[in-house]
Structure 1
Amino acid sequence: MRAARFFGPGDFRLVEVERPSPGPGEVLLRVRAAGLCHSDLHIIHDELGGYPFPVPLTLGHEIAGEAVETGPGVDPSLIGRRFAVFGPAGCGQCAFCRAGRDNLCTESLAIGLARDGGYAEFVAVPAHALVPVPDGVGDAEAAVATDAVLTSFHALANVARVRPGETVVIIGAGGLGLNAIQVARAIGAYVVALDVQPRKLELARQFGADLALDSRSVDPEKPLLDRRIDVVGDFVGNDATKLLAQRLVSRGGRVVLVGLGSVAGSLLGLRIVADEVAILGSFWGTRAELATVLDLIGRGVLRPPVETHPLDEILTWMQRLREGAVEHRVALVP
């Protein structure tokens, strides 16, 4: 079968490999869609501070597929059903998993990051990582829901705990940011989107932003609005946006860091302490939240923007993603 594999920094190729077989507790999925993610670029180009990824590794952690074979100990009635894959998987036994924070499990192997993922025709995954895809949710939508939507939902709904009537600033109107805008609006917040690309600002307005501004025109020394800013979500994560987020948020507000544009950045210590600004990290989301997100998509509350392309074009689309030429989200179809 075809699979796009990471062989080391700068070495990412579409190759032929053997079709996997599901082991005990696993299910073999025929991949129906796998979403592209900036995190894959960080891996391919060694931008995560030398973090050790196994090689060779089939990347792709946003997966939707159809169960075609079950391993020992797995109910065969799963065969023929559509599932989204909860990427962190979780072991189900550790303190984090027992507390419902399975996105922080350190015992399991994240799919597409620590074990082979979905940039392939087939992938074997733990059965407990499967979340049923509701009727009315397309394969591409289900795939990107597992990260691009789940991450935004987790960051705003459960980490920052956005409340109705609050003001939320979203920095970065890309694949994550456009979903974050929808999540914040669904909660009932007033939403401001910041980006540097006119087209992305236009999309931000289309997806529900009350106000969309070029971040280069923002003076953090002057009030951005005539209302307090309760939450700033940084979905870019470079040094400049982290500083901007800290400067924009109102006294007693929350900054939630999601993007991984850089692995460092400055903290405004006096501002954080004297104004009691909470700096919150947010990673992916939980399996329970993924089920919620898929339900929201199925009911039309969230509409994740996604386009599809053949898996054979993955190198082209990875390059376009790196160049900033992808407007929202791309899902690859084998």
Structure 2
Amino acid sequence: MRAARYFGPRDFRLVEVERPVPARGEVLLRVRAAGLCHSDLHIIFDELGGFPIPAPLTLGHEICGEAVELGEDVTGIEIGRRYAVFGPVGCGNCAYCRAGRDNLCTGSRWMGIARDGGYADYVAVPAQALVPVPDAVPDAVAAVATDAVLTSYHALLTVGRLQPGEGVAILGVGGLGLNAVQIASALGAVVLAVDIDERKLELARRHGAAVALDSRQLDPQQPPLDRPITLVADFVGNDQTKLLAQQLVARGGRVVLVGLASVGGPLLALRDISEEIAVLGSFWGTRAELATVLDVIARGLVRPRVETHPLEEILTWVERLRAGEVESRVALVP
């Protein structure tokens, strides 16, 4: 079968490999769609500050597939049914998993990051990572929902504790950020969308942002909303956006860091301390939240934008994503 594999920094290729056989507790999925993520770029181009990535490795952590074979001791999974894959997997036994925080599992091997992922014709997945896909949710949307929507939902609702009516700034309105605009708007927040790409800003306006503004035209001392910005979510994560997030947020507010464009960054310690600004990290989301996200999408409350392309074009779309030529989200279809 075909698989797009990472062999080391800047060495990412589509190759032929053996079709996997599901081990005990695993399910073999025929991949129906796999989302392309900026995190994959950070792996391919060695931008994770030394975070260990095994090689060779099939990348792709946003997966929707059809169950075609069950490993030993698997129950509750239906052959022929579509499933979304909860990327962090979760062991189910550690204290974090037992507390419902399986995105922080201490024993997890993340799909497409620590174990072979979904840029392939088939992938073997632990059964506990599978979430049924509602009939109303297309394959490509289900795939990107496992990260591009789940991560935004978790950042805003669980970590950011978003409340209806509050002012929220979303920094970076690409794939994740545009979904965050939709989620925040749907929940009654007043949203400021910030980017440097006018095409993305126009999409944010069309998807619920009250104001969408180029960051180079933004005075953080005078935010352009009719209320204080009490929650800022940074979906870029470079030094400039981390600084802007801390400048924009109101006294007593929350800054949620999601993007990984740089592994360091500035800290406005005096302001953060004296004005009790909480700077919070947010990682992915939980399996329970993924089920909620798929239901929200099925009911039409959030409509993720995704374009599909053949798996054999993955190298082209990696380069286009890196060049900033993708407005929303891309899913590769075997």
TM range (shorter): over 0.9
Cα distance per residue 1:282-301 (max 9 Å; x no partner): 00000000000000000000
Q: Does the alignment pair 1:198 with 2:159?
A: no
2 CA distance for matches of 1:312 and 1:46?
Answer: 23
TM-score by length of 2: 0.99
Matched with 1:255 is 255
Please report how far the alpha carbon of residue 223 of structure 1 lies from its aligned counterpart in structure 2 after TM superposition.
Answer: 4.1
2 CA distance for matches of 1:303 and 1:91?
Answer: 31
Cα distance per residue 1:244-302 (max 9 Å; x no partner): 00000000000000000100001000100111001010000000000000000000001
Structure 1 counterpart of 2:148, one-letter code: A
Matched with 2:305 is 305
1:78 partner SS? coil
Please report how far the alpha carbon of residue 221 of structure 1 lies from its aligned counterpart in structure 2 after TM superposition.
Answer: 3.2
Whether the 8 Å contact between 1:58 and 1:112 is mirrored in structure 2 is: yes
Matched with 2:295 is 295
1:309 partner SS? strand
Matched with 2:279 is 279
Whether the 8 Å contact between 1:69 and 1:76 is mirrored in structure 2 is: no
Cα distance per residue 1:105-147 (max 9 Å; x no partner): 1202101000000000000000000000001100000000000
From the superposition, tell whether residues 217 and 273 of structure 1 become closer, same or farther in structure 2 (CA, over 3 Å).
same
2 CA distance for matches of 1:26 and 1:298?
Answer: 27
Matched with 2:130 is 130
Whether the 8 Å contact between 1:4 and 1:15 is mirrored in structure 2 is: yes
Structure 1 counterpart of 2:292, one-letter code: T
1 CA distance for matches of 2:36 and 2:267?
Answer: 31
Q: Does the alignment pair 1:8 with 2:8?
A: yes
Matched with 1:227 is 227
Please report how far the alpha carbon of residue 77 of structure 1 lies from its aligned counterpart in structure 2 after TM superposition.
Answer: 5.3
Runs of 4+ in 1 over 3 A off after TM superposition: 221-226
Identity across the alignment (%): 73
Please report how far the alpha carbon of residue 222 of structure 1 lies from its aligned counterpart in structure 2 after TM superposition.
Answer: 3.2
Matched with 1:332 is 332
Please report how far the alpha carbon of residue 224 of structure 1 lies from its aligned counterpart in structure 2 after TM superposition.
Answer: 3.6
Matched with 1:121 is 121
1 CA distance for matches of 2:99 and 2:312?
Answer: 41
Structure 2 counterpart of 1:172, one-letter code: G
Alignment of 1:123-272 (within 5 A): 123-272=123-272
2:229 partner SS? coil
The count of aligned residue pairs is 334
Structure 1 counterpart of 2:261, one-letter code: G
1 CA distance for matches of 2:4 and 2:195?
Answer: 31
Structure 2 counterpart of 1:45, one-letter code: F
Whether the 8 Å contact between 2:308 and 2:331 is mirrored in structure 1 is: yes
TM-score by length of 1: 0.99
Moved more, 115-124 or 224-233: 224-233
Please report how far the alpha carbon of residue 186 of structure 1 lies from its aligned counterpart in structure 2 after TM superposition.
Answer: 1.6
Whether the 8 Å contact between 2:192 and 2:225 is mirrored in structure 1 is: no
Whether the 8 Å contact between 2:167 and 2:225 is mirrored in structure 1 is: no
Cα distance per residue 1:276-330 (max 9 Å; x no partner): 0010100000000000000000000010000000000000000000000000000
Please report how far the alpha carbon of residue 51 of structure 1 lies from its aligned counterpart in structure 2 after TM superposition.
Answer: 1.1
1 CA distance for matches of 2:147 and 2:222?
Answer: 35
Unpaired runs of at least 5, structure 2: none
2 CA distance for matches of 1:160 and 1:328?
Answer: 23
Whether the 8 Å contact between 2:211 and 2:224 is mirrored in structure 1 is: no
Please report how far the alpha carbon of residue 76 of structure 1 lies from its aligned counterpart in structure 2 after TM superposition.
Answer: 7.5
Moved more, 68-77 or 187-196: 68-77
Whether the 8 Å contact between 1:224 and 1:248 is mirrored in structure 2 is: no
